Amino acid sequence: MMKSNLDPLKTSSYDYFLPKELIASKPLYPADSAKLLVYDRNNDTITHTTYKNLLDFLPENLNIFLNDTKVIKARIYGNKESGGKTELLFNKPLFMNRYQVMIKGKVQKGSKLFFDDNLIAEVIELNEDGTRVVKFFQNEKQLDFESLIEILNKIGHLPLPHYMNREDEKEDEKDYQTLFAKNYGAVAAPTASLHFTDELLGKLDTNHNINYLTLHVGAGTFKPVDAEDILEHPMHSEYFEVPKESLDALKQDKKTLAVGTTVTRTIEYFARTNKIQGECDLFLNPANKPIKVNHLLTNFHLPKSTLIMLIASFVGLEKTLEIYETAVKEKYRFFSYGDGMLII
């Protein structure tokens, strides 16, 4: 049943009922056999299909944008100086070879954490939002980003989202990266792109103009909105970069399909600021609608998250909840390894 008294600016309006068994913990094979819900705004119709048939629903002469970020094995397990166990989740690089991370348990400024491969993290700042700033060392040498990534990918684990309720496995190394993942920096996959097979990507490339940009998905993407009023939510920021070829495509007056919420936010941030590199902290919601992206391909998102609010920026709150209710009824699989939807 649709809730009455819905207010698109209230966080509580973005809640919905999701049976636990609809949360996907493994992907489907082949990837394009996943279900796809197509919502056509012109006719106000919902069609149920699969990713394999994606091209049947796309308008002609389309600029398609994909996120080529690559997920780091960002979760590492180690010990505190006291010998107690600890867990660190790398989030993003800051200036001067300092890094923002999340650390399980209490730490103090000056604390050192010890990991495999002689990797040491020294805590240099405690942020109010619960994140920590650290420097990393190996054999007394302070590590730059490239060297750190190399070590993390050797000793770390893929940071699968908590709702998958399991540890990462060998298969995830392939399944939790897109086919075109290129630039290391993400701690979560741009999941809308996980549905592509080589064949589907080839067809898209033949029929449309494919472009790549980079937004390194941070842990903030899973952060629930705690504020009662959505506009009071402190939006997380993530590093992005738009290469020249994609910039030229963005300047064209062609219809745009964003594959995923990360791509949407990057394009919309560029449309508002003209910036092609930096930190994107754009929060799309019914009070801040898209001005450049015409179509969106995306997964189903967590209740009360900024991502479901982004969906509402395209189709409105009531329609978002109606689509999600339909997806639950039709037993779509939800979240990172789940099924998806196309808004045309």
- Over residues 149-175, the pLDDT tens digits come to 999 999 999 999 999 999 999 999 999
Q: What is the pLDDT of residue 1?
A: 46
Contact 101, 107 (CB under 8 A): no
- Which residues make Cβ contacts (< 8 Å) with residue 298, sequence separation at least 6? 192, 259, 260, 261, 264, 307, 311, 340, 341, 343
Residue 272 has φ and ψ, to the nearest 5°, of -90, -30
Residue-wise pLDDT tens digits, 3-36: 557 999 999 999 999 999 999 999 999 999 999 9
What are the C-alpha distances in Å from 96 to residues 2, 100, 102, 167, 212? Answer: 51, 12, 19, 32, 28
Task: Name the token pair of 113.
Answer: 């954490």
Task: List pLDDT tens digits, range 193-220.
Answer: 999 999 999 999 999 999 999 999 998 8
Distance CA 218, CA 29 (A): 27
pLDDT in tens, 260-302: 999 999 999 999 999 999 999 999 999 999 999 999 999 999 9
Question: What share of the chain in percent tops pLDDT 90?
Answer: 96
Q: Is residue 157 helix, strand or coil?
A: strand
Would you tell me the crossing angle of helices 261-273 and 306-315 to the nearest 10 degrees?
A: 70
What is residue 220's predicted lDDT score, i.e. its pLDDT? 82
Confidence of residue 87 (pLDDT cuts 50, 70, 90): very high
Where residue 181 falls among pLDDT bands split at 50, 70, 90?
very high
> Six-digit token pair at 204?
């898209």
Contact assessment for residue 140 and residue 58, using Cβ atoms and an 8 Å cutoff = no
Tell whether pTM > 0.75.
Answer: yes
Residues 192, 188, 300, 2: is their CA dihedral positive or negative?
negative
Tens digit of each residue's pLDDT (9 = 90 or more) over 115-147: 999 999 999 999 998 999 999 999 999 999 999
pLDDT of 2 higher than 80: no
- Give the tokens for residue 19: 């049976």
* Continuous H helices in the chain: 145-155, 172-175, 198-207, 244-250, 261-273, 306-315, 317-329
